[in-house]
Each structure stands twice: as C-alpha cells, then as structure tokens.
C-alpha cells in the first residue's frame, strides 16, 4: 500500500483507479504517484479539494470505481484521467432497491457455505 502521503495524494491499493487528495490541489498540478518503476504522474484537469478523489486513468461509463482495492460504485459517465470523481459521475450500487440481490450474491453465499 502506498502510504506516502506527502506527494499531495494517496492511492490505498494497487488495484485502485482513484487517488485521494491529502491537500487542496490546483488544476494542472502534476501529482506523482506510485513507487519506483511503477511511478507515474497524473495531471489534474480540475481542482481537487482535500479528501476528494481523482481518476488515475480513464474510466469508462458503467465500470467500477475502485478505492481500498474494493468497488465503491460505478462510473455514470466516461471519466478522463485526472478528473474529480464524486457524486456527479459515480453511482452507488447499494443505496437503491437493488441492494438485496447484491447482498445475497452467489459469491457471498459461497463465502458463507465455505465457512461451515
């Protein structure tokens, strides 16, 4: 886990496609992310406030937004690299009436059965 938070943003898992700003960042800021050979820079397309997220790569409509290595929602539209990722372009999968189906997904049932 990249816990170096001095660069202005943090990526919590290598699977993530978003980073969290650890200070207020201006449009055009180049944010260095990753370590050593995996190091790359994201240029911000808009200002990102402290605590808010931006995309590390282009994310197409309908695909998962990943933070902590887990799905936090789906992209409501195509999101270019370096964009603010928030309510305007992300949809929760759980705060609608689709909840029950997801909670009782086959994968989850398998996990419970596996425990016995």
- Chain residues binding another protein by CB under 8 A are 3-6, 10, 12, 20-22, 49-53, 65, 67-68, 70-73, 85-87, 90-97, 99-100, 103-104, 107-108, 111-116
DSSP line for 78-108: -B-TT-EESTTTEE-SSSSTTHHHHHT-HHH
Report how far residue 51's alpha carbon sits from residue 69's, in angstroms, rounded to the nearest whole number. 17
Nearer to another protein, 43 or 87 (CB): 87
Nearer to another protein, 38 or 116 (CB): 116
Question: Least distance in Å: CB of 108 to another protein?
Answer: 6
């Amino acid at each position: 886990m990249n816990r170096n938070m001095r660069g202005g943003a943090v990526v919590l898992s290598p699977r993530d496609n978003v980073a969290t700003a650890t200070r207020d960042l201006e449009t055009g800021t180049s944010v260095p992310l990753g370590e050593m050979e995996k190091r790359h820079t994201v240029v911000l397309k808009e200002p990102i406030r402290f605590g808010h997220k931006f995309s590390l790569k282009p994310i197409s409509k309908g695909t998962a937004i990943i933070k902590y290595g887990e799905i936090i929602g789906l992209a409501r539209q195509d999101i270019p690299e370096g964009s603010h990722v928030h309510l305007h372009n992300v949809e929760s999968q759980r705060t609608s009436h689709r909840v029950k189906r997801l909670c009782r997904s086959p994968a989850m049932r398998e996990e419970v059965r596996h425990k016995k």
